Structures are given as C-alpha cells and as structure tokens.
A and B are shown apart, each in its own frame.
Chain A
Amino acid sequence: MIESYSNTSVAVHPGVQLQFLRYLLMGLSPNPLIENMEAVELAAVYDYIWEKALEIGIRVKGDRFSQTDMLKRLKSVEQYKMEVDCTEPGQRCISEECLLKEAACVKTRLKEQFNRLYNMVSEYLGIEFKA
C-alpha cells in the first residue's frame, strides 16, 4: 500500500470515514483509531476530516466563519519542525513528502493536528471534547 502511494492517493474506506466522523460528532479524541493506522492512510483521512470540519464550521458560524481562524488553531509546520529538530525544508513537511521515509514523524504530526481539529469542532458543536 505504501509503495503505491508514490503514484496514486490512498482511497479511504467509507467505514473508516464513518468511524472518524462518529468520533468527531461525539466529541471524542480520535487517538484510539489513529494508533492502528498507517501514516499514508491517516493522511488521507485527515484530508477528509479537514473538509468535514470546514463544512461544520460554515454550518455553525455562517458568514462569521473564517478558515484562517481554523488554521491558526493548528500547529504550524515551523513550530513542529522546531520541536522535533527537523532540518529538512519546510515545504517537504507541508506537502508530506516524508510520508514514505519518515512515516512515524508524519503520524506524530498528524495525530496532534487531528486532536486540535477535533477539539476545535467540539467547540463549534458546543460539546465537551474528551481527550
């Protein structure tokens, strides 16, 4: 599966999408789901959940919704790279070029972003986030 990622993006099973969505709407941390997943699949799920978080933000806040505000709540690439002492160019991290070579690092970064995103969506929904 990892080999094929260099040519095509990973298709996420709808059952996995459903599971992540269920945790999102129940205010639960997705950590138990993340543990057993490969970084490459996790990256695809993150894109999906990011899209749903935007939809929820728009539905809750309407015209007052700002994508920039959402991005500010996530950890920046620069901050993450500094924390893990990474000397690679920032663009590699943004475009997830390290997905194959540094899967564990990508997974750690995504895990934190997932939790920040889930926490943010819980606030939008007006429910408690259970970390």
Chain B
Amino acid sequence: MSFLSIQKDTHRIGEFIVAGPSLTLQKRFITHLCNEVIITNNNTVFGRSKVTDELQLFFYGIGEKEQYVDFAWDLLAPKMLGYILVFNWYDGNEFSSAQQLLDELSSQIDCHGIVVGDVSEMSLPIDPKIYEQGFSFSPKLYFTLWDSTIKSDAKNVLKILVDSLINHFE
C-alpha cells in the first residue's frame, strides 16, 4: 500500500519543444493540445497537458527571436522527448526557414522530431488519408501536414511523434 502511495505522489513529466518560424503557429499547436497555456513576455509559449494525475506533458513554444531560441534549445533539448517543427506549407520564406532549422537540428541533436506543414491557409486538394500517417525522413524524423484550425489534427501530429518514440523502446 505504501508503495502505491509513493507512486501516486511521483509526478512524471514528458517535455516537447515546439519550434518554427511562426510564433502564431507554435501557439496554435500548443493551444490545441493543452488545457493550460501561458504566453511569456519573451514571446515564448508554455503549455501543460495533464494525461493522468501522475503524468503531465509540457510543451515549450520557443518563439522566433534568435537570442531566446538558442537559449531555449540549450536549456530544453537535453531532456526533451522530441520536437515539433511547424511552418506554413504555402509560404516559401517560412519553408526555407523550416528547412534550414531542420538541417541544423538533425546535425546537432539525435532526437525524435516531426516537421509539420500547416495547410489551413488554402484547401489542399489531397485526401488527408495520404498524409495523416506521416512520412518518414529517418526512423526518428517524420513529416506530416495539418490544418491548424482543427484541434484533432494537432493530436494526430503528436500521435505520429509518440509512435516513433514507442518504436524505439528497447
């Protein structure tokens, strides 16, 4: 019985970084997944989602300003479960930024991640069943599309990322 009570008091946290060229998209993604969202004066976003009394997921949207972004990566990357890189699928500049960030991250961090193109700006003439399972770049790195106005799409993104984590259980 005492063993159970010790377990109950132990809070466990899984942390994810949400990055990308647009703070608005980071915020939208986190808002869809979390019941508690805080926007700091450094233009970063923090979200907390309670899975059970003992398990919580933290999401850190690390903003756009480089000085904060570098600091946030240094602080959070060593302990994160994975990262979510969001960008506007139709915006060429955002795509280039996301592409550059992706290459930097994959060369510096051996971590699970998912790249997510937001297609809410314009309807995509493709059946969602084609991309909702995601496409792999490598065993730890995935890509999918999402409509940032639909809450369940954010959950699907997280599901792909968590699935890739589970596939690496030893």
Interfacial residues, chain A to chain B (CB-CB below 8 A): 13-15, 17-19, 21-22, 25, 52, 55-56, 59-60, 125-127
- Chain B: residues with Cβ within 8 Å of the partner, total of 23
Given contacts A55-B135, A127-B125, are A18 and B143 in contact (CB under 8 A)? yes
Specify which chain A residues have a CB less than 8 angstroms from the CB of B125 in the assembled complex.
Answer: 125-127
Specify which chain A residues have a CB less than 8 angstroms from the CB of B89 in the assembled complex.
Answer: 22
A18 to B100, CA, bound (A): 11
Given contacts A21-B135, A22-B95, A55-B135, are A15 and B130 in contact (CB under 8 A)? no
CB distance from B66 to the nearest CB of A (A): 19
A18 contacts B130, CB within 8 Å?
no
A59 contacts B133, CB within 8 Å?
yes
A21 to B130, CA, bound (A): 13
Residues 90 to 115 of chain B near chain A (Cβ within 8 Å): 95, 98-100, 102-103, 106, 115
Specify which chain B residues have a CB less than 8 angstroms from the CB of A14 in the assembled complex.
Answer: 102-103, 106, 115, 137-138, 141
CB distance from B80 to the nearest CB of A (A): 18
Residues 111 to 162 of chain B near chain A (Cβ within 8 Å): 115, 117, 125-127, 129-131, 133, 135, 137-138, 141, 143, 145
A52 to B89, CA, bound (A): 18
